Amino acid sequence: MCEHKEFEANVHIDRLVDGDLISFIANIMVTCKQCGKPMVFIGLPPGISASQPTVSFNKSTVRLPIVPMAHELDNERPAQALTYTEQPNSNGI
Ligand SMILES: [Zn+2]
């Protein structure tokens, strides 16, 4: 029985585009380095949003909306709400 004492994190960034670029999404997955079991993120809604953190349908990927720091400080382009409800794909992800 693994006690899950070491972890690996994988991060990749998606550009969220709907005609114009809307936002960047940091996708983060964490697995146990010893047994390979994916960790799930709790307490977040499923889907993708440019304005709030969400999780994949199976909760193994947290999706964090990000913008370059200058954008946030200048408040020139506040994140627009773009949210959809995700359906599970054939991989269950
Ligand atoms: Zn483990």
Q: Which residues contact 3 (CB under 8 A, 6 or more apart)?
A: 34
Coil, strand, or helix at residue 71? helix
Coil, strand, or helix at residue 13? strand
pLDDT of residue 47: 94
CB within 5 A of ion ligand 1: which residues? 2, 4, 32, 34-35
pLDDT of residue 18: 75
Calculate how far, in angstroms, residue 8's C-alpha sits from the geometric centre of ligand 1. Answer: 11
DSSP state, residue 60:
S
pLDDT of residue 83: 53
Calculate how far, in angstroms, residue 27's C-alpha sits from the geometric centre of ligand 1. Answer: 21
**Segments in the chain below pLDDT 50:** 76-78, 81
Calculate how far, in angstroms, residue 22's C-alpha sits from the geometric centre of ligand 1. Answer: 37
Calculate how far, in angstroms, residue 87's C-alpha sits from the geometric centre of ligand 1. Answer: 28
Buried b (16+ CB within 10 A) or exposed e, 29-58: bbbbeeeeeeeebeebebbbbbeebbbbbe
pTM comes to: 0.72
